[in-house]
Structure 1
Amino acid sequence: MSNKILSNKSNLQVLFEDNHIIVVNKRAGDIVQGDKTGDKPLSDVVKEYIKDKYNKPGNVYLGTVHRLDRPTTGLVIFAKTSKALPRLNKLFVSKDIGKTYWALVKNEPPKQEDTLVNWLKKNPKNNKSKAHTKEVPDSKKAILHYKVIKKLDNYFLLEVNLETGRHHQIRVQLSNIGCPIKGDLKYGFDRSNKDASISLHARHIEFIHPVKNEPISIDAPLPEDAVWNACL
């Protein structure tokens, strides 16, 4: 899949929707919000979907709550109302949204389960972050928890939970322990995936609905891929 092939409303995978929230399963290559590439972002695709589905005249309100890196896949939440957006933002800031990622790595991690703590420093020139063992100028503390949940023929499936949300955090912290994510050339994997994705998937999310005060729990189906299929 070329990075230029983006979702459109005919193949948009909506996992949850009510009056206030819409959750979609992002494909590899989609950008969540517009950037300097000028490619059509997922947020615009979702607006078109809402406009068509509900026959809405004029502009459609949609608030972007969080992002996923372009080559990653999985759950993305958008706010459909101005009431939901600040409340969802608050849930993310207060870490009251549980997010679980799945990552495929070729090398076995040093431990079957561990907490990784690093200080990450972003280099805007090459859009990469570097992991440090102690604080350095302009670095941010990064904490994640991982465990090996399945051993495949050639890969290990890791479940990852974040305590912090830093630039490329999962990618750089796993690479730092010798476990770059499958397809992630930027952080040390030796070859790309055919569709230019990396094998990092936002698998599960759970939170209390910001308006209805009801528990929400959603799983994102895995990408159609032989290795991902072997994880189930």
Structure 2
Amino acid sequence: MSTRGQRLYDWWSRHTGAQRLLYGLAFFGREGTFRRRGVEALALDHGERVLELGCGPGTNFAALRERVGPDGTVVGLDYSAGMVERARETVREAGWENVHVVRADAATLPVTGSFDAAYAAMSLSAMPDPGAVLDATRSVLAPGGRFAVLDARPFQSLPWRVLNPVILPLFRASTNWISETEVTDALATAFPTASVDDYYGGSVVVATARLEE
């Protein structure tokens, strides 16, 4: 993540209410619905290990932990020191012993062992080299491992596309969103099996991929 990106997300970590309003706009008031769809796409089982890239303040921890159960493991990773601290607060307040938070660059993952699944929610398109992130993720997934992505992109079809001149500057200024990033193309290149569902003129994407067994 760029220095500007770190500063932005450190700021958002101190204003999570404002961030929820921003995401509410990005998801047309259905942020919770799409986050659930992203987590459900992982098809997690009890006892599995799941890695979240760009975990932010830990918004998805409860849903991920519910699916892997107390015998599973959730590891959240973020490059923003402010977001890492907020995520750790979330874990401490909930008393989750099997949820861990690491500050690191997603392109050079400092985690050991293999994971059954990985998740990136509204984070991959904010990373300067998503291809490197996907390669790093592949290296820590077990055979048959799943990867789910929830992300945003410019409107792809009319009449929605006429809103891009307004929406793009707003989100570029307020986040580290790199709107030129083709998240779905990068995912299809990195994984042998990938599928994409999109909504609202292609602006909201839930994509899933799987490694070969």
TM-score of the superposition, structure 1-length normalised?
0.28
TM-score of the superposition, structure 2-length normalised?
0.30
Of Structure 1 and Structure 2, the greater strand share is in 1
From the CA coordinates, give the structure whose radius of gyration is larger: 1
Of Structure 1 and Structure 2, the greater helix share is in 2
